[in-house]
Amino acid sequence: MKILLSLVAMVILTLATAVIQPVEAVDAGFSGEYFNNPTLSGTAALVRTDSAIDFNWRQSSPDPAISADNFSVRWTKAETFAQADKYTFTMVSDDGAKLYIDNNLVTDKWMERGTTTDKVTVELSQGDHQIKMEYYEYFGSANAKLKWELAGNVAGAATTAPTPQPSPSAQPTTTKGGVTELPKTGTPALGWMGVVLMLVGLKIINLSKIKARIEDSAKYLWNERQLKLDS
């Protein structure tokens, strides 16, 4: 009986895994809009896809179409986060930069300066979130980098969270324990029971049939036992 129930559970799990297995998404990278002015003004002089924001241009320019000084870049990307958790974003820039998550301004360092690292920890729901980094180079050397990882993997990151400054059109953010909380927009994770109920709903699993099978097997095992006792 126990073995049979385990088998039934295994079948359900296998079916559930087959149904919810996500298709591996192709990472489209960042859309980068490059401007020949330091204020992201007018029409971009260059639009290209950057697989990552990880640049050290030093004294030179990102592209022949862009000047070596007094340029700006806006990178945007829709990133799918596999789990709801706290994530630490590490931004490096020379000169200034701003970071937005879902159009909420979470780091504002729009200033002339040498290479500086800024970290911010943000609580995100599971699912898609828009990452946007704006950057400008005033003069001299230039670099721009952005990466993120689970806050638990970054020592001391939560202490550097700034006060969030939501843009007027954006939903308000709240701060709890040094962590910036964004408005909840993602879908909650499907629980195990949710998956089973969904499969039942889709009639992939027929509970009455499974119950009948279990009862049949129980009857069979009981009869076998009686036969042994009788003989």
Question: To the nearest whole angstrom, how small is the minimum distance from the Cβ of residue 36 to Ca ion?
Answer: 16
Q: Is 58 in the site for Ca ion (CB under 5 A)?
A: no
Question: To the nearest whole angstrom, how small is the minimum distance from the Cβ of residue 63 to Ca ion?
Answer: 17
Contact residue for Ca ion among 73, 91, 94, 181 (CB under 5 A): 94
Helix (H/G/I), strand (E/B), else coil: 19:
helix
Question: To the nearest whole angstrom, how small is the minimum distance from the Cβ of residue 145 to Ca ion?
Answer: 14
Q: Which of 29, 122, 118, 52 is nearest to 84 (CA)?
A: 122
Contact residue for Ca ion among 140, 152, 177, 188 (CB under 5 A): 140
Q: Segment contacting Ca ion (CB under 5 A): 21-29, 76-84, 91-99, 168-176?
A: 91-99
Give residue number: closest CB to Ca ion: 140
CB-nearer residue toward Ca ion: 34 or 148? 34
Whether the bond between 95 and the residue before it is cis, its omega within 30 degrees of 0, is: yes
Q: Segment contacting Ca ion (CB under 5 A): 33-41, 126-134, 136-144, 183-191?
A: 136-144
Q: Write 112-119 long-range contacts (CB < 8 A, 24+).
A: 112/138, 112/139, 114/141, 115/141, 115/143, 116/92, 117/90, 117/91, 117/92, 118/90, 118/91, 118/92, 118/93, 118/160, 119/88, 119/89, 119/90, 119/91, 119/154, 119/157, 119/160
CA dist., res. 145 & res. 190, Å (int)? 34
Sheet holding 71-81, edge to edge: 46-50, 30-35, 71-81, 127-137, 96-101, 104-109, 165-166
Q: Is 95 in the site for Ca ion (CB under 5 A)?
A: yes
Q: Segment contacting Ca ion (CB under 5 A): 101-109, 134-142, 170-178, 207-215?
A: 134-142
Under rule CB under 5 A, which residues in 10-39 are in contact with Ca ion?
none
Q: Segment contacting Ca ion (CB under 5 A): 50-58, 89-97, 175-183, 193-201?
A: 89-97
CB-nearer residue toward Ca ion: 62 or 164? 62
CB-nearer residue toward Ca ion: 12 or 144? 144
CB-nearer residue toward Ca ion: 81 or 138? 138
Helix (H/G/I), strand (E/B), else coil: 45:
coil
Q: Segment contacting Ca ion (CB under 5 A): 26-34, 139-147, 158-166, 211-219?
A: 139-147
Q: Is 96 in the site for Ca ion (CB under 5 A)?
A: no
Which chain residues interact with Ca ion by CB under 5 A? 94-95, 140
